[in-house]
Amino acid sequence: MKKLLVANRGEIARRIFRSASARDIATVAVYSEADAGAAHVADADEAIAIGPSPARESYLDTAKVLKAAQDCGADAIHSGYGFLSENAEFAEAVMAAGLTWIGPAPDTLRSMGDKARARALANEAGVPIVPGSVRAGPEDEVDFLAEANRVGFPLLVKASAGGGGIGMRRVDSVEKLLRTIEDTQSMAGKAFGDATVFLERLVPKARHVEIQVFGFGNGAAVHLFERDCSLQRRYQKVIEESPAPGLTSDLRARMAVAAVALCCQVNYAGAGTVEFILDTQTQEFFFLEMNTRIQVEHPVSEMVTGLDIVGMQIDFARGTLGALDQSEILSSGHAIECRLYAENPAKMFMPSPGTLEKFSLPPETAGLRVDAGYRESDVVTPYYDPMLAKIITHGPDRASAAQRAVQALNTLQVSGIATNRDFLIACLQSDAFLTGDIHTGFIDANRKSLVAA
């Protein structure tokens, strides 16, 4: 592997460049018109324009990305997260073009990207799954009323091809069920090209706990421990941490064993994340989904294990990853990641595009890492996810990691646009967070007081 093209933008592109450069691999950025002056373009050894600002005409255009790779002589492609990262057809096209695809096999992407299929595979591997229904599109004859009564209320209507909170709607009673199903099917057909949906029981007070895994494609896999990602708005994560607070050693071990079992079941190859929901009342955990890519929150796992997960992806793809035994992977201390967004928490987290007139990030130290996608004077456009940077802290325990995060956020200076900086500080300093009383409804339940703080 001599030259790596990253089919992405922002902080994840810059992150991948670092691991590639450390291995003396030349890096190539692709960019849309809106990103011509972006930080990731400046970081790469080479940069290629691939089209207009809308993602579908640039970052999501397989033909343009492949042409860029071929024009510059790249021999490998890493797609980060989002965009084409879990697109099986893109992975197949990369491989058909004779390039190295840094990611799981296309068949794995296809199987785990289909939520119903993923649930079936998890069930076969002995992984607990949330009670759910069959999947169906508008043309299928399914008695959803009977299915709903079997699953139980409250429930979620979920698009089979959805993800990241998109294509997921809560229903509390039978009166709104059929209309919600119709609306979700219509939206899913337009957004994903797949109108099938299914019902899944909603755990009223749940935590979102996920296991970082790495598979070797031969029925063997290891885990890099767990992350708690319960603090979310609009089903998207805001603060993540490792280890997950308050778990017994037995529960922690059972979740890890289940995640590895699923990887072994599907001969998983590369980095991935098995996500679970944890019932805070019963301490039961259930398979939610598997993300077949690097996660936004992977740095917290890197901070507690000392491993370079992106580097592992690259080394595995080029055949240079050495043997890795579970006993060699240790977790030390506690890490917390805060996602700094260009958004206004007081206005339901509405994105806040504009120019970063001031953007001064805290200097990195042994216990502080900053992964940023922007620099001072950069323009945050309305075209893409509004995440500006990730502030990742590490300490000997949870309290010290949280304190370092607050200090780092207080040091950070930003003006010209609205951000969630003060909201993050309020979350980290809240009594509920500090005592570990966290769940996926935490922000919705406390939004007014957090915004006021």
pLDDT in tens, 400-429: 999 999 999 999 999 999 999 999 999 999
Is-contact 274 263, C-beta < 8 A?
A: yes
- Report residue 38's pLDDT band, with 50, 70 and 90 as the boundaries: very high
Active site residues: 293
Measured CA to CA, the distance from residue 159 to residue 178 in angstroms comes to 14
pLDDT score of 157: 95
User: Of 27 and 234, which is predicted with more confidence?
Assistant: 27
- Percentages helix, strand, coil for the chain, rounded to the nearest 5? 35, 30, 35
- Report residue 164's pLDDT band, with 50, 70 and 90 as the boundaries: low
Is-contact 35 48, C-beta < 8 A?
A: no
Measured CA to CA, the distance from residue 40 to residue 59 in angstroms comes to 14
**Mean pLDDT on 44-62:** 97
Mean predicted lDDT score pLDDT of the chain:
96
- Residue 82 has phi, psi (to 5 degrees) of 70, -170
For residue 291, how many other CB atoms are within 10 A of its CB? 21
CATH 3.30.1490.20 fits 131-201, yes or no: yes
Give me 326's structure tokens. Answer: 């579970």
User: Of 234 and 243, which is predicted with more confidence?
Assistant: 243
Is-contact 267 125, C-beta < 8 A?
A: no
pLDDT at 178 over 90: yes
- The tens digit of pLDDT for each residue in 106-163 reads 999 999 998 779 989 999 999 999 888 988 999 998 999 999 999 999 999 999 888 6
CATH class of the domain whose range is 3-102:
alpha beta
pLDDT score of 323: 83
pLDDT at 306 over 80: yes
**Mean pLDDT on 207-220:** 97
Domain boundaries, the chain: 3-102, 131-201, 206-452
**Mean pLDDT on 322-348:** 96
Pick the CATH number of 206-452 from 3.30.470.20, 3.50.50.60, 2.60.40.1730, 2.30.29.30: 3.30.470.20
- Report residue 204's pLDDT band, with 50, 70 and 90 as the boundaries: confident
- The tens digit of pLDDT for each residue in 258-277 reads 999 999 999 999 999 999 99
pLDDT at 434 over 80: yes
Sign of CA dihedral 403, 407, 408, 409: positive
Give me 19's structure tokens. Answer: 């691991």
